[in-house]
Structure formats: structure tokens, C-alpha cells
């Protein structure tokens, strides 16, 4: 079943203002098949595509009040599914091709490191706590870009804001997060060997994906 944009907007309004489960079910039913096919083009797996789409809808329902400002729900869904599909590919692919000392040769290496993964989760937790201290609009803009992978231009269209407003709010968010996280990062540097300092840079680096217009 396909739903036109006008009806999508009506359903979305009911979802965010009334927590209307029937409207959400209709939105899910009407968009699910197309979104799964769309995700499968990236993932080459119907099962993985179904998982990705279900996750996107789950986030949408649980965070419906936070996403109230989203004006174009159809565009949001397809872009979120695309970004989640790409994240899925990155998350479940720890095998990378690296060059060897022998010219013209390469080998496959599993880059997964349990210790680094634990450290990374802690850093993400600290960042998430800091993000919650942002103002509602600033937090939404930041999460759409950092968590969902949207570009500022896309966020501007989804929230019906000017591109400049989104970029300004994003800049202020990053600036505020730097202030909030500074004490933790300073303490972390004192406890972490020099060879691991890149993990700190990694925390700030995750602010960058999707920021290019």
C-alpha cells in the first residue's frame, strides 16, 4: 500500500500530537514494504533490511515527541533507512584490506578489538549524556546529523529551517559539547597512554559524519 505525502503528514501529526497507535500502524504498514526493498538494495539481505527498517520505526515511535518538528516524514524515513543501512554495513564488517610490505600484495585483517570496543562505548555514553544537556532544538539537529547521518541541508528541509540556521545550531551544539566534555577528556588523557590518545580524537570525530552540506 502506498500513502501520498498529504496523508503521511496527517498520520505523522496524529502520532506526534496524540501518540495515536493506529496512525503509527498505518504509517508502518503503508511504508514498510517499500522501505525494506530500499534497504535491501544496500544490504543485499531481506532479513537485514527488515531489521533495519524495524529499528528505524522503533526509534521513530519511542522518540516521537523529540521528532515533532519533522515536517517531511517520508523524506525522513527513506534517508534514515539509507543511513541505518550504511551503519549496519560498517558495524558488521570488521574485515578490512590492508597492504603488506610485499609490493602489490594485500591481506585481510579483522580489526575488531574488544578492549577498544569497550572504551568506545564508554566514550559514546559520555557524549550521549552531554547531548541530553543541549536545548531541545539544538539536540534534535545534532542527533539527526550525528545519530541518523543526515546532512545539514537535509535537516533544514526536514525541519523547514534555513540551511544557515541548522549550521549555526550545529556549531553551537559542538561548542557546548566541547565545554561539557572538557573535564572528562582532560582526566582521560592523564589515565590513557599516548598510543591511545587517538581514542579521544575519535570521540570528537564522530561529531563530523554527515556535516558536509
DSSP designation for 192: S
Cβ-contact 213, 151 below 8 angstroms: yes
Per-residue pLDDT at 47: 92
Tell me: the pLDDT tens digits for 55-102?
Answer: 999 999 998 888 888 888 988 898 889 888 888 877 765 434 344 444
User: What DSSP line would sit under 50-91, residue for residue?
Assistant: HHHHHHHHHHHHHTTTTTTT---HHHHHHHHHHHHHHHHHHH
What is the separation of C-alpha 73 from the centre of its chain, rounded to a whole number of angstroms? 16
What is the separation of C-alpha 48 from the centre of its chain, rounded to a whole number of angstroms? 17
Domains of the chain plus CATH, in order, are: 1-111 (1.10.1740.10), 113-213 (1.10.10.10)
At residue 55, the 3 state secondary structure works out as: helix
Cβ-contact 200, 188 below 8 angstroms: yes
Residue 76, Cβ neighbours under 10 Å: how many?
A: 23
- Element spanning 108, H or E: strand 106-110
**Residue 49 grid cell:** 533490511
Per-residue pLDDT at 200: 42
> 156 or 110: whose pLDDT is higher?
156
Query: What's the pTM?
Result: 0.57
At residue 95, the 3 state secondary structure works out as: strand
What is the separation of C-alpha 161 from the centre of its chain, rounded to a whole number of angstroms? 20
Distance between CA atoms of residues 164 and 155, nearest Å: 11
Mean pLDDT, the chain, integer: 76
Taking alpha carbons only, the member of 86, 177, 162 closest to residue 129 is 177
Tell me: the pLDDT tens digits for 147-181?
Answer: 777 888 888 888 888 999 999 998 898 888 888 87
Whole-number CA gyration radius for the chain: 20
Amino acid at each position: 500500500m502506498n500513502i501520498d505525502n498529504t496523508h503521511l503528514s496527517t498520520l505523522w501529526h496524529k502520532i506526534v500530537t496524540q501518540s495515536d497507535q493506529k496512525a503509527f500502524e498505518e504509517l508502518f504498514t503503508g511504508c514498510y514494504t517499500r522501505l525494506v526493498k530500499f534497504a535491501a538494495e544496500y544490504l543485499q539481505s531481506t532479513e537485514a533490511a527488515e531489521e533495519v527498517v524495524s529499528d528505524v520505526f522503533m526509534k521513530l515511535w519511542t522518540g516521537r515527541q523529540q521528532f515533532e518538528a519533522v515536517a517531511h516524514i517520508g523524506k525522513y524515513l527513506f534517508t534514515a533507512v539509507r543511513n541505518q543501512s550504511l551503519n549496519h554495513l560498517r558495524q558488521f564488517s570488521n574485515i578490512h584490506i590492508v597492504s603488506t610490505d610485499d609490493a602489490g600484495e594485500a591481506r585481510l585483517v579483522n580489526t575488531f578489538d574488544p578492549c577498544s570496543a569497550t572504551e568506545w562505548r564508554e566514550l559514546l555514553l559520555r557524549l550521549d549524556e552531554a547531548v541530553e544537556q543541549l536545548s531541545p532544538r539544538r539536540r534534535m539537529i545534532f542527533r539527526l546529523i550525528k545519530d541518523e547521518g543526515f546532512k545539514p541541508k537535509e535537516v533544514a528541509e526536514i525541519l523547514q529551517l534555513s540551511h544557515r540556521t541548522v549550521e549555526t545550531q550545529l556549531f553551537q551544539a559542538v561548542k557546548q559539547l566541547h565545554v561539557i566534555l572538557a573535564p572528562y577528556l582532560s582526566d582521560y588523557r592523564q589515565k590513557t597512554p599516548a598510543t591511545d590518545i587517538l581514542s579521544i580524537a575519535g570521540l570528537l570525530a564522530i561529531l563530523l559524519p554527515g556535516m558536509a552540506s
